[in-house]
Amino acid sequence: MFYYCAKPQFEQERFVMGYKHQNLRIPGPTPVPPTVLLASAKPMINHRGPEFSPLMERITLRLKHFYQTKGDVLVFPSAGTGGMEAAIVNVLSPGDKVLGVTIGVFGDRFITIAERFGAEVIKLSFPWGRAAHPDLIEQLLSDNRDIKAVLITHNETSTGVTNDLAAIGEVMKKFPDVLYVVDAISGMAALPFKHDEWGVDVAISGSQKAWMIPPGLSMVSVSEKAWKAHQAAKMPRFYWDFSAAKKSLEKWQNPYTPPVSLLYALDESLSIMEEEGLENIMLRHQRIGEATRAGIRGLGLELFADPAHYSNAVTAVKAPEGMDGKLINTMLRDEYNVVIGGGQKDLAGRIFRIGHLGFVSLADILGVLAALEMVLPRLGVSITPWSGVKAAEESYAQALTGGKV
Ligand SMILES: Cc1ncc(COP(=O)(O)O)c(C=O)c1O
């Protein structure tokens, strides 16, 4: 009896200590490269001392590079949602009219935050699995000339859809007084994001996604136009105050005690990213996204998202007809140490999601597809053996010879 109780606990401890390998393929937190983990184990330093400011300077300048902005990028110790709240409370006042564009769970969240702080939100929803249509955004902006900001998600993690922010940016340019506020939490540093070229004013990202470090940091950009809006914005704020963050950043510091270990980690991950290069990072995500989708189709499964707007950071797959998709997640995890995401809210049990952002290579995805090939027949889904892995390999080989971003 004692052995029966103790064994699972022992297994759990082995996992916590990192001895048990897992293929973690949820869309964040993502796997962290070993040198990044090591960097985060460095001894503490005085966050007001001379060692800290070069670290913060290095990080900030390189974040700006990956954001593709000449404006500011502020770093807040928080989950991505904290960065979303920071964006809202720093550029809006209670009663301001905003257009909240939503294509899934995270678009809805952005709207909820704005409403909670007293904004008057016009909600523009698109069916889950689809992307936002630029023409409808333009129509609503034309009909409501007092809209102060558009809130939108770059990459909707809950459905595996990427919005066309370039096309929406063209619309935004026709309304130069309206702020373009983007939740880029699961897209930044994985998918093309041309902050200044697209006219984005505030973009939020999260450390646990393509930045390849543990959860706990959100990065928030602030354009010139956003700084002007900030001067007039009256929503209550203290911890999130952009002005306080900027004032400290002028000394390459943070207003409050920063999570030094996460900053060490980010410094190292940015070095890895710099070495790979922005274009190559995008290309890798594109090739792996395509290979994942090819593999899923090869298995005879159906993709959830609109093919015109597939995400190269996360793939949502419909559970086979009549099956609770959660069973697939459980079997992959318990039997093959492959951990993928499930469906959220209304999609629970109806889809499963494979994360392929950040520290990811083709082999990680082949591992997921191979595990699916072993699990699906036992759940009564007939597949052709090796059909997923084969299709993914072929897609990748094809992209290596003729791929483009
Ligand atoms: C697009 C998007 N927005 C917001 C969030 C929320 O981030 P966090 O869980 O770090 O608060 C997530 C997290 O998955 C996300 O993918």
Counting from 1 in the atom list of ligand 1, the atom nearest the Cα of 153 is 1
pLDDT category at 217 given cuts 50, 70, 90 is very high
Counting from 1 in the atom list of ligand 1, the atom nearest the Cα of 218 is 10
Q: Is 339 in the pocket of ligand 1 (CB under 6 A)?
A: no
CA-nearest of 338, 344, 343 to 356 is 338
Q: How far is the CA of 379 from the centre of ligand 1 (A)?
A: 31
Q: Is 311 in the pocket of ligand 1 (CB under 6 A)?
A: no
**Ligand 1 pocket: which of 24, 81, 182, 240 to mutate (most atoms <8 Å of CB)?**
81
- Provide the percentage of residues in the chain whose pLDDT is more than 90: 93
Q: How far is the CA of 185 from the centre of ligand 1 (A)?
A: 6
* Contact by Cβ (8 Å): 168, 132: yes
Q: How far is the CA of 109 from the centre of ligand 1 (A)?
A: 9
Q: How far is the CA of 229 from the centre of ligand 1 (A)?
A: 25
| Phi–psi pair at 239, nearest 5 degrees | -60, -35
Q: Is 85 in the pocket of ligand 1 (CB under 6 A)?
A: no
Q: Is 183 in the pocket of ligand 1 (CB under 6 A)?
A: yes
* Contact by Cβ (8 Å): 85, 110: no
Q: Note the pLDDT tens digit of each residue in 82-123.
A: 999 999 999 999 999 999 999 999 999 999 999 999 999 999
Q: Is 79 in the pocket of ligand 1 (CB under 6 A)?
A: yes
- Provide the percentage of residues in the chain whose pLDDT is more than 70: 94
Q: How far is the CA of 223 from the centre of ligand 1 (A)?
A: 22
For residue 89 the two structure tokens come to 């409370």
Minimum CA distance residue for ligand 1 atom 5: 80
Give the pLDDT confidence score for residue 405 in this predicted structure: 44
Q: Note the pLDDT tens digit of each residue in 141-171.
A: 999 999 999 999 999 999 999 999 999 999 9
Average pLDDT for the chain: 95
Tell me the C-alpha distance between 252 and 63, whole Å.
Answer: 14
**Ligand 1 pocket: which of 185, 205, 207, 353 to mutate (most atoms <8 Å of CB)?**
185
Q: Which residues contact 214 (CB under 8 A, 6 or more apart)?
A: 29, 32, 40, 207, 208, 262, 265
Counting from 1 in the atom list of ligand 1, the atom nearest the Cα of 83 is 11
Give the pLDDT confidence score for residue 108 in this predicted structure: 98
Three-state helix/strand/coil letters over 248-263: HHCCCCCCCCCCHHHH
Q: How far is the CA of 116 from the centre of ligand 1 (A)?
A: 18
* Contact by Cβ (8 Å): 277, 265: no
Q: Is 153 in the pocket of ligand 1 (CB under 6 A)?
A: yes
Give the pLDDT confidence score for residue 2 in this predicted structure: 30
Residue 381, pLDDT above cutoff 60: yes
CA-nearest of 404, 394, 396, 301 to 356 is 396
Counting from 1 in the atom list of ligand 1, the atom nearest the Cα of 154 is 1
pLDDT category at 401 given cuts 50, 70, 90 is confident
Which amino acid would we find at residue 131? A
Q: How far is the CA of 50 from the centre of ligand 1 (A)?
A: 34
**Where are the alpha helices (H) located in 129-241, listed in sequence order?**
134-143, 165-172, 224-232
Bridge-partner residues for 100, per DSSP?
Answer: 123, 151
Q: Note the pLDDT tens digit of each residue in 227-274.
A: 999 999 999 999 999 999 999 999 999 999 999 999 999 999 999 999
Residue 5, pLDDT above cutoff 70: no
Residue 3, pLDDT above cutoff 50: no
Q: What is the pTM of this model?
A: 0.95
Minimum CA distance residue for ligand 1 atom 8: 80
Q: How far is the CA of 186 from the centre of ligand 1 (A)?
A: 7
